[in-house]
Amino acid sequence: MTAIRSGAALPVVFAALFGIASAALSSAALAQQPKGAGADQPNLLGQYGDWGAYAASPAGKKVCFALAKPKSSKTDPAGRKRDPAYMFISTRPAEQVKNEVSVIIGYPFKAASDATAEIGNTKFAMYTQNDGAWIKNIGEEARLVDAMRKGADLTIKGTSGRGTQSTDQYSLKGLAQALDRAEQECR
C-alpha cells in the first residue's frame, strides 16, 4: 500500500514558505534588512552552490529549508508565460517534518494530475494541488532526498490546467551542504 501524505494543511504551509522564498530570493531586501529583523522573514544561513539554506519562524514556528530555482525551464508549446518556479526541501520541527520535498511550478497544475521528479533513470511521482507538488509516496521521500544529495541534476515535469507541459531542470550542486546547514539550524 502506498502511503500518501494528507494534504489538508500542506497548501497553507507551502503558501507561507512561498512567501518566505520570494522574500528570500530578493537579495537586495535581505542585504538591507537589519540584523534581528522580523522572525517571519527568512534569514539566509548560507549560499551553497545553486542552493540557499534559510530559516524563519512564521507564526512563531521555526521552519528551515533549502531552496533553489531551476537552471533551465521549457514549456510545450514553447514560450508560454508562467510565474517563477522553486524547489524546497523543508524541515518543520514543531510538526515533526524533516526534509519534505516540494515544488512551486509557476502555474496551476491540471486538476487530478501528477507531476514527476526524475534523477537519472529514477522517477518519483508527485501529487499536485494548485501550483504545488509534493512526493506522492512519503515512504520514498528519504530515497529521493538521498538521490538528490548524490546526483548532479533533477528534472521536474508537469502539466498546467491549460495543457502546457513544462520541464524544469534543477542543479543539485550545493544541495547537500544547504540541507546540512538547514538541519543544523532546526535541531
Region class of 151: left (phi > 0), else alpha (psi between -120 and 50), else beta: beta
Inter-residue contact 67 to 51 (CB < 8 Å)? yes
How far is Cα 107 from Cα 175, in angstroms, rounded to an integer?
Answer: 25
What rounded mean pLDDT belongs to the chain? 85
Rounded mean pLDDT, 104-132 = 96
How far is Cα 81 from Cα 2, in angstroms, rounded to an integer?
Answer: 35
Rounded mean pLDDT, 127-138 = 95
**pLDDT at 23 exceeding the cut of 70:** no
Rounded mean pLDDT, 92-121 = 95
Rounded mean pLDDT, 123-141 = 96
How does residue 174 score in pLDDT terms, banded at 50, 70 and 90?
very high
Q: Kindly state the percentage of the chain with pLDDT values over 90.
A: 74
Q: Tell me which of 79 and 155 has the higher pLDDT.
A: 155
**pLDDT at 133 exceeding the cut of 50:** yes
**pLDDT at 19 exceeding the cut of 60:** no
Joined grid coordinates for residue 88: 524546497
Task: Give the pLDDT score at 39.
Answer: 60
How far is Cα 112 from Cα 93, in angstroms, rounded to an integer?
Answer: 30
Task: Give the pLDDT score at 2.
Answer: 42
Inter-residue contact 46 to 179 (CB < 8 Å)? no
For the stretch 24-80, pLDDT in tens is 444 333 333 444 445 678 999 999 999 999 999 998 999 999 999 999 999 999 988
For the chain, domains (ranges, CATH) are: 10-185 (2.60.40.1880)
For the stretch 175-187, pLDDT in tens is 999 999 999 999 8
Cα-based angle 97, 40, 156 (whole degrees, multiple of 5): 50
